[in-house]
Amino acid sequence: MQVSEIESQISLRSAQTCKIGKLFKERRQLLSLSETEVASEIFVNVNYIKGIEHGDYSIFPARVFALQYFKKYANFLNLKLDFFDIYNS
Count of structural domains within the chain: 1
Calpha distance 58→51 (Å, rounded): 8
- Confidence band, pLDDT 50/70/90 cuts, at residue 86: low
Q: Could you read off the pLDDT of 31-78 as tens digits, one per residue?
A: 999 999 999 999 999 999 999 999 999 999 998 999 999 999 999 999
Q: How far is residue 69's CA from residue 49's CA, in Å, rounded to a whole number?
A: 8
55 in Cβ contact with 21 (< 8 Å) = yes
pLDDT for the residue 85: 72
Give the pTM.
0.81
Domain extent at residue 9: 3-88
Cβ neighbors of 78 (< 8 A, separation 6 or more) are 27
pLDDT digits (tens, 9 = 90+) for 1-42: 443 444 444 557 788 889 999 999 999 999 999 999 999 999
| DSSP 8-state symbol, 12 | T
| CA torsion through residues 8, 72, 36, 28, sign | positive
Write the DSSP assignment of 41-80 as a string of letters. HHT--HHHHHHHHTTBGGGSSSHHHHHHHHHHHHHHHT--
Residue 3, pLDDT score: 39
CATH code at position 36: 1.10.260.40
